[in-house]
Structures are given as structure tokens and as C-alpha cells.
Amino acid sequence: MPFCDEQLTRLKPLWTRMLGHRFLTETRDGAMPDERFAVWMRQDYLFVEAAIPFIAALIPRAPRAHWSPLAGVIAALEKELQLFEERAAAVGVTLRGTPAAFTNHAYIQFLMATAYRASYAEAYTVLYAAEKAYHDSWKVVRAGLDRESKWHPLVENWAGDAFAQYVGYLEGELNALAEQAGADERTRMGEYFELTTKYEIAFWEMAATGEDWPGCNSQ
Amino acid sequence: MPFCDEQLTRLKPLWTRMLGHRFLTETRDGAMPDERFAVWMRQDYLFVEAAIPFIAALIPRAPRAHWSPLAGVIAALEKELQLFEERAAAVGVTLRGTPAAFTNHAYIQFLMATAYRASYAEAYTVLYAAEKAYHDSWKVVRAGLDRESKWHPLVENWAGDAFAQYVGYLEGELNALAEQAGADERTRMGEYFELTTKYEIAFWEMAATGEDWPGCNSQ
Amino acid sequence: MPFCDEQLTRLKPLWTRMLGHRFLTETRDGAMPDERFAVWMRQDYLFVEAAIPFIAALIPRAPRAHWSPLAGVIAALEKELQLFEERAAAVGVTLRGTPAAFTNHAYIQFLMATAYRASYAEAYTVLYAAEKAYHDSWKVVRAGLDRESKWHPLVENWAGDAFAQYVGYLEGELNALAEQAGADERTRMGEYFELTTKYEIAFWEMAATGEDWPGCNSQ
Amino acid sequence: MPFCDEQLTRLKPLWTRMLGHRFLTETRDGAMPDERFAVWMRQDYLFVEAAIPFIAALIPRAPRAHWSPLAGVIAALEKELQLFEERAAAVGVTLRGTPAAFTNHAYIQFLMATAYRASYAEAYTVLYAAEKAYHDSWKVVRAGLDRESKWHPLVENWAGDAFAQYVGYLEGELNALAEQAGADERTRMGEYFELTTKYEIAFWEMAATGEDWPGCNSQ
């Protein structure tokens, strides 16, 4: 079985938990308060921005054939940031000025540490798993979202066909990397897949609860 | 004012919150259940182990005069691991086999990402702040701990004179690095100091609550 | 005095030696045999390609305001590669299939090691010095080159106005970084400037002599 | 065939060229002028020092079981530096104050760039090939060297049994890494083996000719 199918099968319970997260279902059902959604927007804006140096750090460790596609991902991330800014302006949300919440900061550190320290195939696993998670998660939201919703353009960005095609490309490349990998590296790739899924779930949890740095908010 | 004094003054409320964390006061007062302390031991064992590659990653970016002291830190960390193993054996705790909890995993990623990506002076700030936090925190515990406590040797390791001397050495070096730094870098060093303190607090919180990956335990 | 002026003054003898290198003057005067120029083309094609991961590795260590300009440099390098391919096709030179000569390999290692290990301002110094060296060197060639020369489009690429503007932008940014740097870092930036100039001279020397790996060619 | 045997067979002509280099044979035969040998000593002192950050950079990318052995290599390199200093003092050579020659600088950049950018197995290949090259090269010298030679302690350091044992350990580990590697990675490991051998030959050539930065000395 190709690596991605194998992992998505192995991690089915975790993946299902992610797709059923109340942040997604409540957004889908129009039950998410605007201010709570805005909290997510501000954090995700920071996360998308932080993905740029992650992708850049992959390039020197990537095979030559991946350099241009990865540079293309950087350009796509810059466009995503503009989409956030356009949406935020349209609905009156102030995007900038909020520091990264704990889970967001942690996830960003995980991206960067992996880009530098892990093997390229391991780091590419994180890239794929994060993008696949976003695609599948926002498809859950799109399935029930009012098309007139002010969040629709953001949802469509990740749930739509262009993003699906991009995720499909990543999947093919990751399967090829996994085929070239030795048994130990392939096992570690699976561990990175699982870790990324857990960070994704933590991210939805942060968005739903408004969590911040542990031990710093409570009195 | 030297950089470290300046930061410890600026971050006093955060530092005080850290030193007053219930994990420390309850351990000091003998009110910490053994099983809860064992949870901390297993996590901190993983963290100390993970500090080895963090220190190693600093060496290529350090001035020549820091190479031997940093290699000495690696040796000291290996000894700390032995101390954990010796204590664990003495009290019947199984150290190995537990995966890193969320906050622990996140903190380790922060160390590694910083070692690779930040300037050397910024990364050295993280090293100092983490060691200073440990020294001060365990001095809180030692102040009231029964000397016959089975945890005493661990507490003494960080609260004792040898560690105090090491922290003093780091402080002198960090102050010197800050003096050489430009204004912008010095500001970023302060941000890293604050972030490290917040990760330290999150670590005590994790130890006190037995928290695990957000959104993965509930149900 | 701004940092770049200061260094170009300090390193004047070295810079003059570079600009007077016979590879440049003979190319300018139409005295460079095609096959020798083709040797340079093949090596420089490899070097331009290798500059892509160098730039990518800078992004995660750069201030946010540099991310887009650096991504723009990657795009410009891809265009330079196409220019090489177009020129090579036009004059019947086979670009690919030649391994990096010793000096070329070494220079590429210097770029990558610096991107990862040095401070950002130090690594940016290498970027500026290399681009400034190219601009000035090819202006020497352009000054006397027959405009009908088949090499003219390549020469114009680096000697022309667009490239001049780009080098001017880098100069402004590097001067700003140097102003923010402490005294020690500024000294090291000067050392990197000098080293880069020496690698540039070595590169022209390699092109002029057809040098390969030392001790490997002689019988 | 184990990876190391396979490579040493494949690269036999290059390896033979290295072992027959006149720097080695003339040193063996007592025909090497002291001042020429001192040039090598000063350069190799810089190279051994630069190997410390190379080894340190490997640790975060190494499997856990390699951390202590690699820390041990750092300690061994510090001892080698002391041996150089002791020998230099004994024979009246000033070790410090000479900048790295071109080939030396280049080789050091190759080490660092590889440690950061290549896979761990590829970087470990460079470590093994460099140490194996030193062991075999100095055995050539020891075979004919007067035991009363003032250089004997240096020669013995790399030609002796302790170093042989260390090289044997590296060989076993590298063979194991190669067995775990996929086909593409294994091919790249072979390329790194070859490159390292070529840098070693270039190093002897530099020592024999007193070469410096190309294009900078002539006139």
C-alpha cells in the first residue's frame, strides 16, 4: 500500500477525531461566534506566515526537482496571507498584533525543528500531513456551510479543487520518497505523520477553547 | 544594568508565578503524590536527554572559547541522566517507555528550532533562562524539603552549589554577549528570555495536571 | 562611512586584482577562446543553480521584511538558469553533465556553510559581496565587448541596469544590518566580505586555467 | 559486500593516488624539509579544530546510540590539538596565527555544509572517509619513518592501534547505516565518499606545494 494510504489507515481514529472536532462542526453549522472565529483567524494567519520559513528551510535539503514546486508553495502562502487580509478587512477583524498562542507557537517550533533536524522525507511527511489535514478538515466545514457565509472564501481556499490538486501532488511525491526510504526511516516518517495530526488536533482545540500559555492565565 | 538582571527585573511577575507554582510548593511540603512526581521524572528525563542535541547544535555557532564549556554541559547532562536512573531504580519508578507529553514535546522543539534559527546570543539566552529557572525553582523546593526525602538527591542536583556556579558562569557569558549585541538583537534576546520562562511554567503545569496532547484525551 | 563603502575601500587591492583578472580582460577583448568560455559557462551554471538553496537557507534566519525579496532572488536565479540554457543552445554548448570543478565545489560549500552557521548579517554580507563582484566584473567586460558578441546577453544580465538596481538594494540593506550589528559581528562581516572576494578571484582563476581537483589531474 | 569495502574497491585508483602522494612518501623518507612540514602542521591544526563543530553538528541528527561516541570524538579532537601544541613546542614551531589556506578553508566548508544539509548517513560517510584516509595515509609514513623522528608522536597518533580501533568502529556503524539506507541515499553516500577522498588528496597537495588562495599570490 502506498505510504500515505497506509498511514491514513493506521491513524484513522486520530484522523476521525480531528475531522469531528467541534471547532469544525460548529463552524460548519453556523454556530461558531464571530469573535471565536476571529481568534482562530489571527492565530492561523501567524501560522501560515511561519510556514514560509519552514518551506524555505526544506529547499536546500530537497532533491533538485522539488525546488521549484517548493518555491511555488512559498508564493501560494503569500497569497493565502493576502486572502486572510482581504477577509479580515471585509468583516472588520484586526489580524495583526496578537502574539502566537501556546499551541500555535509550539506547532511552529515543531515545523522548524523538523525542517532542520529530520531527514528530508520525514520533514516532507509533516508538510503533507499538515496540508492533507487542512484540506480534509475544511471539506467537513464546506459540506454544511452556508455559501453566503462571510467565511466561505477562506473555507473554499483549502477545501477547493486547486488545493486538492496540490495535496494530491504532495501525496504522490511523499509516496515516492517513502518507497526510496529504508525501513527505519519509513517508521520515523510514520511517527512524524502521527505527531503532525496531533498538533493539528491541538490547533483546533486551541481555536475552540481560546487556550493560552498553560499556567499563565489562571489566577 | 547587566542583561540578566534587567530581564529578571522586567519579567519579575512571570518569574514569581513560576517559583510559586503548586508543583514546586507541594513537592516542597511533601504533599506531592509519588505517582505524580514520577510523571514529572519521566518527562524531565526525556527533556534532559533532548537538551544534549540542543547544546551540540550550539557549538558550531559559538565562539571558540565556548566550545569546551558547551562540551562540558553535554557531559553534565549525561551525568544528570544517570542520576535520574539511579533515583528511579532506588524508588521503583520505570523511567523509559513514556512518550513526551505535549508541553514537553513543544519545549524540546523550541530548543532545537532556536539553536538552528536564532542568533547564537538568542539561543544562549534560552540556555541561561532554562538553567536559571531550574536552579531557582528547585531552591524553592529545597527550602522546605525533608532532607530524608527520596527526591532530595535530584533536588540537590539543581539547587546545590555546583549548579549555582554553572548558572553564574552562564550569566556572565550571557551578559557579555548582550553587551556585544546591537539594540534589535538585544530586544529579541529579551523575547527569548520571556518565552523560555513561559515554557518553564507550562512544564510545571504539565507536571501538576498530568496534561497530555490537547483534544486527544477527552471523550 | 557605510559598511559597504568601508569594506570596498579596505579591500581595494583585492577588488582591483579581481577586476583586472585576465579571464575578464581577455573576454572583453574577444581573446577568450570559445571552449574556455564554455568551461566557465558550465561551471557558472552549476554555481547559479547552487545559489538557490543558499538563498532559501537565508529566509528562515532573515527578518520578515526580507522574505519576499529573497524569494524574488530565487525566481531571478531560475531566470538566469534559463538565460544560460538559451545562450548555450544558441551557440551549441552542452551545459549539463560536467561535475563541479574544485573551486566551484568549494565556493558552493562556503555559501551553504555560511547560510547555516554564520549570523544572518554575516551571510547577507556574502550575498552582497558575491553579487557586487559579479556586477563590477561584468561591467569590466561590457566596457570593451563587441555588442554583437554571442556572449553579450549573458554579460548584459549582470552588467545591466536591473542588476545594478538589485545590487543597490542589497547594499542599502547590508548597510542597515551593519549599523544594527555589534562591533564583533561587524568585524566578522568584514572577514566574510574578504573571503567572498577571494573565492570570486579563485573562480575567475579556475575559469582561466581550467583547473580541476588538486593532485587528481597530474600524472 | 559491506558499504565501506565496496567503496574502497570502487575508489581504489583514487585511494592509491592519495597513499602515494609525495607529501607522505617524502615525510616517510625523511626528505620533507621541516619548514614544509610545519606548514602542514599549522594547517592541520586548524582543520582538527574545525572538526569539532562538524562533529557537534552531527549529534542532533544522529541516532541516540551515536551521541556519546560522537561526544567522545570531540574529546579526542581536543586531545589531538594538545598533541599538536606539545609537538610544536618541542620542535619550535609557532602553530597559531596562520589563516586557513584555500584548500583547508574549502574542506572545512565542505564538512560543515554536509553536516547541516546532507542526510546523517551521508555526513557520517564523510567522517569515516576522512578518518580512514588519515589512518591509511599515516601508516604509509610510519612504515618507513625513523622512530627517533621528531614527528613520530604525531604520526603514531593516527597510524596507531587506538586510532585503528576507532576507525574500525566507524566502519561498522557506517556499514550499518548503509544497510538501512535506500538505493538513492546509498548512491549519494558513495559520492560523498569520493568527494572526501578528493578533498584529502587536495589537502596533501596543499601541504606539498604550499599553495594558497588561487589568483592571490602570483604577481
| Cell matching residue D219 | 604577481
Total number of residues shown for chain D:
219
Distance from CA of C60 to the nearest CA of D (A): 14
DSSP state of C100: P
Contacts of C60 in chain B (CB under 8 A): 117
Question: What are the pLDDT digits (tens) for D89-122?
Answer: 999 999 999 999 999 999 999 999 999 999 999 9
Q: Which residues contact A212 (CB under 8 A, 6 or more apart)?
A: A101, A102
Nearest CA in chain D to C22: D215
Integer Rg of chain A from CA: 17
Total number of residues shown for chain C:
219
CB-based contact D117 A60, cutoff 8 Å: yes
| Cell matching residue A10 | 493506521
Question: What are the pLDDT digits (tens) for B20-46?
Answer: 999 999 999 999 999 999 999 999 999
* Residue D64 touches chain A, beta carbons under 8 Å: no
Buried b (16+ CB within 10 A) or exposed e, C161-200: eebeebbeebbebbbebbeebbeebbebbbebbbbbbbbb
Q: How much of chain A exceeds pLDDT 70, in percent?
A: 99
Q: Cα(first)–Cα(last) distance of chain B, in Å?
A: 51
Residue D44 has a CB neighbour count (10 Å cut-off) of 18
> What is the distance between the alpha carbons of residues B14 and B27, in angstroms, rounded to a whole number?
20
Residue B3 has pLDDT above 60, yes or no: yes
**pLDDT tier at B217, thresholds 50, 70, 90:** low
Q: Is the pTM of this model over 0.95?
A: yes
pLDDT, averaged per 10 consecutive residues of chain D (219 residues), comes to: 98 98 97 94 98 98 98 97 96 94 98 98 98 98 94 95 98 98 97 98 96 77
Q: Does residue C103 sit in helix, strand or coil?
A: helix
CB-based contact D182 A184, cutoff 8 Å: no
Residue A212's pLDDT is: 86
Q: Which of D56, D67, D78 sits opposite B59 (nearest CB)?
A: D56
φ, ψ at C57 (rounded to 5°): -70, -20
* Residue C100 touches chain A, beta carbons under 8 Å: no
Residue at grid coordinates 497569497? A79
Nearest CA in chain D to A115: D117
Helix D102-117 with D183-209: angle, nearest 10 deg: 160
Q: Does residue B97 sit in helix, strand or coil?
A: coil
Residue D219's pLDDT is: 40
Residue A5 has pLDDT above 50, yes or no: yes
Question: What are the pLDDT digits (tens) for D127-157?
Answer: 999 999 999 999 999 999 999 999 999 999 9
> What is the distance between the alpha carbons of residues B208 and B100, in angstroms, rounded to a whole number?
15
Nearest CA in chain B to A100: B195
Best probe of the B interface among A19, A109, A203, by most B CBs < 10 A, is A109
The question of ipTM being above 0.85 is answered as yes
CB B73 within 8 A of CB B56: no
> What is the distance between the alpha carbons of residues A24 and A35, in angstroms, rounded to a whole number?
15
Helix D102-117 with D34-58: angle, nearest 10 deg: 10
Residue ranges of chain C with per-residue pLDDT less than 70: 217-219
CA within 13 Å, CB half, D75:
10
pLDDT average, residue stretch A103-115: 98
> What is the distance between the alpha carbons of residues C211 and C43, in angstroms, rounded to a whole number?
11
Q: How far is CA B163 from CA B85, B153, B155, B156, D104, in A?
A: 19, 13, 11, 9, 40
Q: Identify each DSSP E strand in C92-192 by its residue range.
A: none
**pLDDT tier at A219, thresholds 50, 70, 90:** very low
Residue B219 has pLDDT above 60, yes or no: no
> What is the distance between the alpha carbons of residues D71 and B72, in angstroms, rounded to a whole number?
10
Nearest CA in chain D to A118: D61
φ, ψ at A169 (rounded to 5°): -60, -50
CB-based contact B60 D54, cutoff 8 Å: yes
CB D54 within 8 A of CB D111: yes
CB-based contact B215 A205, cutoff 8 Å: yes
CB A145 within 8 A of CB A24: no
> What is the distance between the alpha carbons of residues C199 and D105, in angstroms, rounded to a whole number?
10
* Residue C181 touches chain B, beta carbons under 8 Å: yes
Best probe of the A interface among B109, B209, B211, by most A CBs < 10 A, is B109
> What is the distance between the alpha carbons of residues A181 and C128, in angstroms, rounded to a whole number?
38
Residue C212's pLDDT is: 87
Residue A87 has a CB neighbour count (10 Å cut-off) of 19
CB D29 within 8 A of CB D144: yes
Residue A186 has a CB neighbour count (10 Å cut-off) of 19
φ, ψ at D107 (rounded to 5°): -65, -40
> What is the distance between the alpha carbons of residues A192 and B111, in angstroms, rounded to a whole number?
18
CA within 13 Å, CB half, A117:
28
Amino acid at D83: L
| Cell matching residue B77 | 547532562
* Residue D76 touches chain B, beta carbons under 8 Å: no
Helix A34-58 with C34-58: angle, nearest 10 deg: 150
Q: Which residues contact C47 (CB under 8 A, 6 or more apart)?
A: C104, C107, C108, C203
Q: Does residue A217 sit in helix, strand or coil?
A: coil
Nearest CA in chain A to B202: A214
Residue C153 has a CB neighbour count (10 Å cut-off) of 13
Q: Chains contacting A with at least 3 CB pairs below 8 Å?
A: B, C, D
The rounded mean pLDDT for chain C is 96
* Residue A48 touches chain C, beta carbons under 8 Å: no
Q: Which residues contact A172 (CB under 8 A, 6 or more apart)?
A: none
Residue A108 has a CB neighbour count (10 Å cut-off) of 23
Question: What are the pLDDT digits (tens) for A72-94?
Answer: 999 999 999 999 999 999 999 99
Residue C219's pLDDT is: 40
Contacts of B59 in chain D (CB under 8 A): 52-53, 56-57
| Cell matching residue D81 | 590539538
Q: Which of D108, D113, D213 sits opposite C202 (nearest CB)?
A: D213
CB C52 within 8 A of CB A67: yes
The rounded mean pLDDT for chain A is 96
> What is the distance between the alpha carbons of residues A151 and A202, in angstroms, rounded to a whole number?
22
CB A100 within 8 A of CB A43: yes
CB-based contact B71 D67, cutoff 8 Å: no
Contacts of C124 in chain B (CB under 8 A): none
Contacts of D181 in chain A (CB under 8 A): 182
> What is the distance between the alpha carbons of residues B212 and B168, in angstroms, rounded to a whole number?
34
Residue B87 has a CB neighbour count (10 Å cut-off) of 19
Q: Does residue A37 sit in helix, strand or coil?
A: helix
Three-state SS letters, A113-172: HHHHHCCHHHHHHHHHHHHHHHHHHHHHHHHHCCCCCCCHHHHHHHHCHHHHHHHHHHHH
CB-based contact C54 A74, cutoff 8 Å: no
> What is the distance between the alpha carbons of residues C204 and C137, in angstroms, rounded to a whole number?
10
Q: Which residues contact A148 (CB under 8 A, 6 or more apart)?
A: none
Distance from CA of A179 to the nearest CA of D (A): 8
